[in-house]
Amino acid sequence: MKVISYNLRKNKASGELVALTEEFGPDVLALQEADTLQLPAELGGLHLADSTHRNRLGLAIYYRRDRFTAESTQTFALKKSLHDMVLAPAHERLIGTRLTDVEAGRELIVASFHAAPLTALNSLRRHQIKAAHEQLHAMGDVPTLMVGDYNYPLFQKGLGTKMQESGYDLSLSDRSTYTRYKMFRGHFDFATSVGLKIDRVQTLRRGISDHLPILVDASYGFAVPEDDGAPESAAR
């Protein structure tokens, strides 16, 4: 299963999406900072599950209808930063879609997430991530993948520890995903997951956005420890 996540930088990179989906053939596309009033219902072979509604620049999930059936989609508001409250309110920072994978006969949740900007503290972003995971778990106790702009370029080792304590895996891509400011270059866009094996997270080429899109390759199941002598079991 292939999932692309892309922060469109105030929708400026929206014109790249068709070519991106045609080249890499994702099963799911998760967007941040998309102009939700202009999103097409169909995009490069993908269908719009839903988008956020309370702010023009928001989140969206597209999926491949020849593989998945969308069971439900929900959007969620998370704790606001001072930036949100004073300068540019972002009412909904999470959208999750529960899908039935017809090919694998499994259900899963894929979510698009956009954390508070760098003007906020890491503690607030950790709170948002934890709350987002709790909201998604309430949608169903099934394998879950949350991708997006986490705005968390520093102290990621500590974040990874926090994720493990809550049962989630943190997966960074092979290259930096944000290069606009030298001081904050690094991994802003990544994935957290539970019940899935993340085979690879790849940073794709730069477009108009200040964020680079990421491509997540995921599969169901986990590698069995080598000393068990059993082969890896995973249905891609």
How confident is the model over 171-201, as pLDDT tens digits?
999 998 987 665 566 788 999 999 999 999 9
Measure the CA–CA gap between 114 and 60, rounded to whole angstroms: 11
pLDDT at 236: 42
Largest CA distance in the chain: 57
- For the record, the structure tokens of 95 come out as 């959208």
Helix (H) / strand (E) element for 214: namely strand 214-220
Strands 144-149, 106-114: pairing kind: parallel
pLDDT category at 121 given cuts 50, 70, 90 is confident
- Inter-residue contact 145 to 95 (CB < 8 Å): no
pLDDT category at 118 given cuts 50, 70, 90 is confident
pLDDT at 186: 74
pLDDT category at 222 given cuts 50, 70, 90 is low
Q: What is the CATH number of domain 2-228?
A: 3.60.10.10
pLDDT in tens, 7-60: 999 999 999 999 999 999 999 999 999 999 999 999 999 999 999 988 888 999
Average pLDDT of the chain to the nearest whole number: 87
Measure the CA–CA gap between 77 and 135, rounded to whole angstroms: 10
Measure the CA–CA gap between 1 and 151, rounded to whole angstroms: 25
Q: Is the pLDDT of residue 144 over 90?
A: yes
Domain positions in the chain? 2-228
